[in-house]
Amino acid sequence: MHRKRQSAQISLALLIASAITLGMLVLTVVLIAQSFRGMEAAKVSAASATAKQLAVSVDDRIHSITAPPSTALAVLSHDSLAGAQTLARRLERLPVLADILQSSNIVSAVYAGYPSGDFVLLRKVRSSGTLQFPDAPEATRYVLQTITRSSGEIPGEWRFYNADMQLIKRIPVPAYTYDPRTRPWFKAAKVSESTELSAPYAFFTTRETGITLSRKASPETGGAGTIFGIDVTVTDLSSQLAELRQTPNTRIAIVNREHQVLADSGNRNHPGPAIAGALNQAGEDIAGSPVNQFTAEGRDWYGMTEPLGALQQEELTIAVAIPADELLAEVWQALARQTVIAGLIALLLLVVGWFLGRQVGRPLEHLTDQVSRLSRFRFDTPIRSDSHIREARQLSVALDDMAKTIRSFQSIATVLNRGQDLNNLLQDILEQIVHILGQERGGIYLFSRQQERLTLAVKQKLELPETIDGLPADSDDNEVIRLLRQRTSGHPVFAILRNRRKRLIGVLAIEMELGANTQLSDDLIVFVDEIAGSAAVAIETRELIESQQALLEGIIRLVANAIDAKSPYTGGHCERVPKLAQMLVDEALVSDDLAFGSFSMTEEQRQEFHLAAWLHDCGKITSPEYVVDKAVKLETIHNRVHEIRTRFEVLWRDAEIHYLNRLLVGDYESAAERERRETRARLQDEFEFIARSNQGGEFMHEADIERIRTIGRQTWLRHFSDRLGLSPDEQQALKDVPAPPLPATEPLLADKPEHLRPWGEHIPPVRRDDPRNRWGFDMALPEYQYNRGELHNLTVAKGTLTDEERFKINEHIVQTICMLDALPLPDRLANVPRLAGTHHERMDGNGYPCGLTAAEMSVPERIMAIADVFEALTAVDRPYKEGKTLTESLTIMDRMVEDGHLDRAAFELFVRSGTYQRYAEAHLRPEQIDPVDESLFMKPG
């Protein structure tokens, strides 16, 4: 950028010399300012003294909190409770613990921890003015929490007492597994001979803020290793701090060394912005005082801190923040009066200065009009002034240069923000930087950490080596530049490109050969480095975006492959459906069919659909594998037909025993043999029928169902208990079922209460009236989560799944939507849960999970349903069916179209475009690819 040499101009100082009288105004302002600063300093000193006094008051309060409980704990350490080894003996000493609780309002709990892990704690139901146990029985005053490990387990128990220490209620709490031996208060007192005081913390059960005093039991009690503890709340400090405020909005807080709030005048549990500013000494320090001034919550504040002498090991601090407008209210009133006087003087001086100002202002008014265009972001406006005032002319030239520089920075900012492809981004960055510097030649190298090499990415009219090897990744800037100087010719300026972690990512080279910049200066080098820094951030950002996109794609494929790998029968489904769906979407985008005339997708929408297709079955990760892979009706974790075969074996041997018994009592051998033969033949036939019924089919006749029930009514004798060796789940199922006396007569097939698994607290939010259902699900919920009854499963009319298992299979789409909706997806991927979760909807509104109709489903959603159904029909890895041929699959899909299941337009596009054929050639077995008469599936126009 070249400038014309300017002739000497008249100095502006000569014109304003006659305005010296304006110094009177300056003097007035200085005096007012000094007065204000003096009054401000006095107020700040007073505030600092107040903070010191607050620290003394709070120290006294903390000492008053800890002294009485410490005395009570010293007395308790000699109590026989320390040596009590049974719960009964410990209960005898409850009055002692109750007396300690009654002695102080701030003591919330008294307890003893034993070296065996036993624990006894007496707690007030109401502490710190709050009811801590709202579910406690009426009239409860105390809660006794005990853990007794003498039985080898951890039988936790809570007991509720009234004010007279009379037991109201006792309840077992198995989940109460508190171990006092692991707590800091126990460990600290165990190795100490005196009372130990903990840091303030949130109590285990009530979450109140307080401190714990703990002390080892005296040896004379016989309780070696027993530790007594007292919990003391400090929550009332907050209300006391509020009473000590100097102004209505003064903030006072007590914090520990981690800046955790222990008490706050505003009843907060974390440092507010004002307190945080005081603690961090934000803003400016007030000279000569420990006070700092800062801005928070839209207001100016004065902040100060003082250390507390109490609990020195915790390094407690009291922080005070006072609004400046409240502290200086009186100062401002005095300042206003002085300002009125100064204003009158200024008015007189302004009349005099107006005349002089006009002499200076006229040449600048024109310049102001032009500069105002800059304020409206018109940086392409030339800035010129014909004034004879030297300073005005120089100002116009400087502003013009500034406008040109801003225009250049606008251009490079646009390039950095909008660049998508990395190569194009680098080329645009190089062109803009070369233009800003007023040069013509340059280049950008990118660094490879693996190869320790610089590779020329882009260049502009500058001959540079394509690669520069032998550059370690940890080289500093001087080493990089020294190596570049050795390998390149000319005298380019090098700017090292480093990312936010200061790692080398590349080098910018600019040949400085035009204008005044041929002579390098420190300012020019700094300027080039700053521009290069912006370019480095843009390059790193683009690389991060590309790597994040690749990572997201990899994670999604990982989830899909994990779902396919979970079941050997559905391997590849999550991979094949996206491919087929994408093929059909591509056909819809170029189709001239009326149904797809307005259909279009941006690149972001295509990416959104692609991710949704890969994740369309991610909910299957929650589906039990034995349900997904259920090949026969009696299969759970194993095929239960083997149990039934064993019962038939029992009946077989019973027939043999019956035959021998008849011979022993003298019956005719021929008649007994005939009966045995007939019974065994019947058993063989019945088992074969049961075994065949265990195989899933398309339909089961009512007569077959009735025969199964008839066979099941046969009985056998069980001599062994069915309550031994059970899992916790089985024990829970039999909890309310009494065990029959042995030997017990059992039906051959049965639906037993233990076969039922209720939903309990795990009811999925699929019913429309469920308040948790914010997705619009509308599905029928079976009465039970599982029904493993033998008759119930064997009499399934179609397939192998019961209604309960069918719901569990269908629920995978609910889990898909819920899982994807829980992800923090960006706006461009906001429709992924919907696209992934609607492929089981039907055009007639009878699908699931939301019962959407065709009018409520987009083209991509209808295409996803087509892809999912076709892949399922042709898949050869399902346990319940064989992979169908193309004609069979398309015939079934055509029938599904007629039944309102699939979309007619999407199906015909699928057939007409030959998408099914291309997919088959890539993924189906040769025997499945048969000739297809496409005209059979085209509806006449």
What is the structure's pLDDT at 84? Answer: 86
What is the rounded distance in angstroms from the CA atom of residue 97 to the CA atom of residue 69? 12
What is the rounded distance in angstroms from the CA atom of residue 925 to the CA atom of residue 822? 39
Residue 876: pLDDT above 90? Answer: no
Contact indicator for 753, 737 with CB cutoff of 8 Å: yes
Q: Which residue matches tokens 């065996």? A: 116
| Cα Rg of the chain, angstroms | 43
Residue 713: pLDDT above 70? Answer: yes
Closest CA to 865 of 844, 895, 840: 840
Percent of the chain with pLDDT over 70: 75
What is the rounded distance in angstroms from the CA atom of residue 108 to the CA atom of residue 131? 12
pTM (two decimals): 0.51
Residue 551's CB is within 10 A of a number of other CB atoms, namely 11
279: confidence class by pLDDT, cuts 50, 70, 90 = confident
Strand, helix or coil for residue 3: coil
Q: What pLDDT digit, counting tens, does each position of 125-179 carry?
A: 887 666 777 778 888 889 999 988 866 666 788 899 998 889 998 888 888 888 8
Q: Kindly report the CA angle at 392 between 390 and 394, in degrees rounded to 5?
A: 70
Higher-pLDDT residue of 36, 753: 753
Count the residues in the chain: 941
Distance of CA 205 to the CA centre of its chain: 26
Per residue, the 3-state secondary structure of 527-569, as one string, reads: HHHHHHHHHHHHHHHHHHHHHHHHHHHHHHHHHHHHHHHHCCC
Distance of CA 244 to the CA centre of its chain: 41
Cα separation of the two ends of the chain: 71
Contact indicator for 724, 742 with CB cutoff of 8 Å: no
Contact indicator for 506, 542 with CB cutoff of 8 Å: no
Structure tokens at 391: 């300073």
Distances (CA, A) of 887 to 271, 646, 738, 891: 71, 44, 57, 6
What is the structure's pLDDT at 228? Answer: 92
Tell me the average pLDDT across 78-85.
86
Higher-pLDDT residue of 424, 887: 887
Tell me the average pLDDT across 428-450.
79
| Cβ burial, residue 900 (10 Å; 0-12/13-18/19+) | middle
Closest CA to 3 of 515, 520, 523: 515
What is the structure's pLDDT at 525? Answer: 67
What is the structure's pLDDT at 518? Answer: 52
What stretches of 376-439 show up as alpha helix (H) in DSSP?
Answer: 390-418, 422-436
What is the rounded distance in angstroms from the CA atom of residue 785 to the CA atom of residue 756? 8
Residue 202: pLDDT above 80? Answer: no
Distance of CA 809 to the CA centre of its chain: 27
What is the structure's pLDDT at 346? Answer: 63
Tell me the average pLDDT across 693-701.
82
11: confidence class by pLDDT, cuts 50, 70, 90 = very low
Q: Which residue matches tokens 């994040």? A: 548
What is the structure's pLDDT at 160? Answer: 92
DSSP notation for 127-149: ETTEES-TTSPTT--EEEEEE--
Tell me the average pLDDT across 556-577.
67
The single-letter DSSP state of residue 452 is T
Residue 220: pLDDT above 60? Answer: yes
Q: What pLDDT digit, counting tens, does each position of 508-559 carry?
A: 888 877 655 555 556 666 766 776 676 777 777 766 766 767 777 777 777 6
Task: Tell me the sheet residues that pair with 561.
Answer: none
Structure tokens at 735: 């909890």
Q: Which residue matches tokens 């030959």? A: 914
Closest CA to 141 of 87, 102, 88: 102
What is the structure's pLDDT at 652? Answer: 92
What is the rounded distance in angstroms from the CA atom of residue 675 to the CA atom of residue 939? 65
The whole-chain average pLDDT of the chain stands at 78
Tell me the average pLDDT across 199-227.
81
Which domains does the chain possess? 77-234 (3.30.450.20), 419-546 (3.30.450.40), 567-623+829-937 (1.10.3210.10)
Structure tokens at 382: 């030339």
What is the rounded distance in angstroms from the CA atom of residue 907 to the CA atom of residue 893? 8
Residue 356: pLDDT above 60? Answer: no
CB-based contacts of 754, cutoff 8 Å, min separation 6 = 730, 733, 734, 737
The single-letter DSSP state of residue 10 is B
What is the structure's pLDDT at 377? Answer: 57
